[in-house]
Structure 1
Amino acid sequence: MRFARLLAAPLIALAAVIVVLVPSSPASAHGSIVNPASRNYGCWERWGSRFQDPAMATEDPMCWQAWQANPNAMWNWNGLYRENLAGNHQANIPDGQLCSGGRAEGGRYNSMDTVGNWRATNVGTSLSLRLNDQASHGADYIRVYVTRAGYDPTTQPLRWSDLTLVTQIGNTPASQWQPAAQGVQIDLPVNVPGRTGRAMFYTIWQASHMDQSYYFCSDVNFGGTPTNPPTNPPTNPPTNPPTNPPTNPPTNPPTGTRACTATYTLVGSWTGGFQADIRVTAGSTAIAGWTVTLTYPSGQQVAQVWNGTATTNGSTATIRNATYNGSVAAAQSTTFGLLGSGTHSTPTLTCTAT
């Protein structure tokens, strides 16, 4: 792979990740390139509020195929990462799978690798890429590549040999980033003189809180009229609504004994904090709402929640469904996630349904 001269590599001492206790405020746990938008963030930004609109099929066909393949790739626009790769990106991510991070998260993001005419952001040859870091992880490093002249993302899969490094920064704690509506953000200046036409930026963000590597494909069109940067990502985007939410959720679910179960999965942990996902599954009868109570054994506390609303009392947290994921069909599931403070230990869970 051809590497351009590095434009910058500042080395700044690592700062610890601080989880702020805000029990009633939903949040998301990771981040993405939001301008020019990564494929998964762009599809969520354009269609998240109307993901069942059939107009997407003709107006934005690459996003349409992605929503059909796995809606959670967009609801979880900020979770495209791999863990414990020790910086061996090329060894672990094959050619043709760069945009999905090597089929990250069990293949959730595979549709990001689909070759086609993805919606491109018009940019000039001197621009800034904005990375939004919702959990204030900071970076061990961030590397930005651009595809070579002559590469056509509409007809060719992305390979490592198609990329040229155009800028990078070194160890940069979140305290050095700009404040955002949620978490922090950083703008990475990029200059690619003489470029015209379609191309792609490929960004690798190595987060500082653990060995966690994020991968972003951003489609661009050099020479078009630049578009305005998006506003800060919303403070409480749903990260994992039901895979196939009903168009018209039933107002009166079938009568019967309404019950649910909750399954807890640790996603990751670090000094002083952790992240977990909880899957809520309806029993043999559809439910209209659910409540999950978690009690941690050793003083841990729930700090932030998404896909639900939380109230806390010491080490006990009660999470109720959000407005969009309370109705769950019989034997089907929905999920919510949380950030916690303290050294992780699995809580006891109860689930009640209405």
Structure 2
Amino acid sequence: MQNVVHKRLLISAIVAALAAALAVLVAPGSPASAHGNVLNPASRNYGCFERWGDKFQAPEMATQDPMCYQAWQADPQAMWNWNGLFREGVAGNHQAAIPDGQLCSAGKTQNGRYAAMDAIGDWKATNLANSFTLGLFDGARHGADYIRVYVSKPSYNPVTQALKWSDLDLVKEVPNTPAAQWTRQLSNGVQMDIPVSVSGRSGRAVVYTIWQASHLDQSYYFCSDVNFGGVTPPTSSPTPAPPSSPATSPSASTSPATGACRATVAVSSQWSGAYQANVTVTAGSAPVKGWAVTLRYGAAQTLQQSWGATVLTSGNEIQASNAAYNGALSAGGSTSFGFIAAGTPSTPAVTCSAV
């Protein structure tokens, strides 16, 4: 009898471990609501999220954006959690905490979640003039003890070399600035627009940003790939939101344009036993503070993963409400969310309401 009890306990432990592992594998990928990132010029992980967040399983990423492809393959959570690339307890001694070759992952912080950011190769680069504006988003309104902006030296080639501290020149430092004094006060956080100038630069480089948040001892580290001598970027970067839906898709449905918002759902890809869909939400003629979307199908739906919204299923309905960072929309403004569901895609009835 005792052996039987031991066997049952062992089986229960194994089942619990397998369930926990499976939960990690299929956990929803929506980004955390706190913290922040450099949006312009986009950091490596935010750029990968912005370009591919609604189609992260698209096979064309491997050839069109191979550095992002290897990053998504290594750990998708590094992009979903684009605003969590930080270390704690550094006490200002950044070079001691982060070894050469690991600057873009903050010394492989978060148990190596962001390690793929250190990969050497041809990352997508933002074209910049020698005078540009860096946009740092703070979703949790931590504020800053200081912000330091570095640019890699002309001798450094990010396509073929690992980034070292000795490769960087400090070009700008912003002193202690509470969140209430940041350049832009947004509904989902604050943003600091930092003017930066270099002289006589052309070609590829890395802009490296250290943000010492005024919240415990949290230090954030961001690598942004740039190409000096390109077109001048906008002077302010956009409010963070998941990327827009693909231009074409196998099926699409649109909610009526009347009311405070409308939604369009499009299937961006499908494979054996599952499909990926993206939903674009657009405000009407007046701003909205939040939104809710219902997709009503002809049969029950099984949700596997979602991002950019709180998404639930109820029988043949998929119900979604905005995330903390993308609920407020200006008149005519848009955002999007996505999900993966089991089965074969069909065209749902779509409704959208402001909340």
| TM-score category of the 2 structures, normalised to the smaller one | 0.5 to 0.7
Cα deviation per residue 1:212-269 (whole Å; 9 max; x = unaligned)? 01000000000012344652112899xxxxxxx9957669xxxxxxxxxxxxxxxxxx
Query: What is the CA-CA distance between 1:149 and the residue it aligns to?
Result: 1.1
Which residue of 178, 192, 195 corresponds with 2:198? 192
For 1:289 and 1:60, locate their aligned partners in 2 and report how far apart those are by CA, in whole Å: 28
**Separation (CA, whole Å) in 2 of partners of 1:34 and 1:41:** 7
Alpha-carbon distance between aligned partners in 1 of 2:127 and 2:96, rounded to the nearest angstrom: 32
TM-score of the two chains, using structure 1 as the length reference = 0.61
| Structure of higher RCO (CA pairs closer than 8 Å, 6+ residues apart) | 1
- Could you tell me which amino acid in structure 1 is paired with residue 219 of structure 2? S
8 Å Cα contact 2:53-2:242 kept in structure 1: no
Q: For residues 84 and 46 of structure 1, what CA distance do their matches in structure 2 show? A: 32
Choose which of 109, 120, 140 in structure 2 pairs with 1:135: 140
Equivalent positions of 1:195-344 (< 5 A) are: 195-228=201-234, 230-234=237-241, 288=302, 308=310
Separation (CA, whole Å) in 2 of partners of 1:34 and 1:88: 25
Contact 1:121 1:226 in 2 (8 A): no
Q: Give 1:209 shift.
A: 1.7
In structure 2, do the counterparts of structure 1 residues 307 and 211 end up closer, same or farther at CA, with 3 Å as the change threshold?
farther
Contact 2:34 2:83 in 1 (8 A): yes
Residue 31, structure 1, aligned to residue 36, structure 2: yes
Contact kept? 1:27, 1:236, Cα under 8 Å: no
1:67-107 Cα deviation digits (max 9, x unpaired): 11111111111110001111111001000000000001110
The residue correspondences of 1:59-74 to structure 2 (distance < 5 A) are 59-74=64-79
For 1:169, the aligned partner's letter is V
Letter in 1 for 2:206: M
Name the counterpart of 1:46.
Answer: 51
Tell me the TM-score normalized by structure 2: 0.61
Match for 2:105 among 100, 111, 119?
100
Aligned length: 239
CA distance in 2, matches of 1:204, 1:172: 14
Question: Does residue 182 of structure 1 match 2:180?
Answer: no
Structure 1 equivalent of residue 264 of structure 2 = none
How far apart are the structure 2 equivalents of 1:133 and 1:248? Answer: 40
Using a 3 Å threshold, how does the CA distance of structure 1 residues 250 and 112 change in structure 2: closer, same or farther?
closer
**1:233 partner amino acid:** P
Aligned pair in 2 of structure 1 residues 249, 105: CA closer, same or farther (>3 Å)?
A: farther
Counterpart check, 1:120 vs 2:122: no
Q: Is residue 71–residue 117 contact of structure 2 (8 Å, CA) maintained in 1?
A: yes
SS of the equivalent of 2:104 reads coil
Task: Encode CA deviations 1:120-152: one digit per residue, 9 max, x unaligned.
Answer: 000000011000111111101100000011210
Query: Residues of 2 paired with 1:321 and 1:42: CA distance?
Result: 21
- Counterparts of residues 85-96 of structure 1 (less than 5 Å): 85-96=90-101
Segments of structure 2 that go 5 or more residues without pairing to the other structure are: 1-30, 245-268, 276-300, 313-319, 324-336, 343-355
**What CA distance in whole angstroms lies between the structure 2 residues aligned with 1:57 and 1:94?**
29
Q: Unpaired segments of 5 or more residues in structure 1?
A: 1-25, 238-244, 252-286, 291-305, 311-318, 329-354
- For 1:131 and 1:57, locate their aligned partners in 2 and report how far apart those are by CA, in whole Å: 29
151, 155, 160: which one aligns with 1:150: 155
- Residues 39 and 238 in structure 2, CA contact (< 8 A), matched pair in contact too: no
Letter in 1 for 2:69: W
CA distance in 1 between partners of 2:230 and 2:321 (Å):
46
Change in Cα spacing, 1:321 to 1:136, as seen in structure 2 (3 Å) is: closer
Give the superposed CA RMSD. Answer: 3.1
Which is helix-richer, 1 or 2? 2
Q: Does 1:77 align with 2:79?
A: no
What secondary structure sits across from 1:49 in the alignment? Answer: coil
Name the CA shift for 1:205/1:248 in 2 (closer, same or farther; >3 Å). farther
- Among the aligned pairs, what percent are the same residue? 58
- The one-letter code of the counterpart of 1:201 is V
Q: What secondary structure is seen at the aligned counterpart in 2 of 1:144? A: strand
> Greater shift after overlay, 180-189 or 191-200?
180-189
User: For residue 114 of structure 2, what is the aligned residue in structure 1?
Assistant: 109
Q: Secondary structure at the match of 2:193?
A: strand
What is the distance in 1 between the residues matched to 2:135 and 2:220?
A: 14
- 1:152-200 C-alpha deviation (Å, 9 max, x unpaired): 0000000000001000111100000111352000111111010111001
Q: Could you tell me whether the CA contact under 8 Å between 2:202 and 2:228 is conserved in 1?
A: yes
| Structure showing greater Rg | 2
Report if the CA contact (8 A) 1:289-1:321 is conserved: no
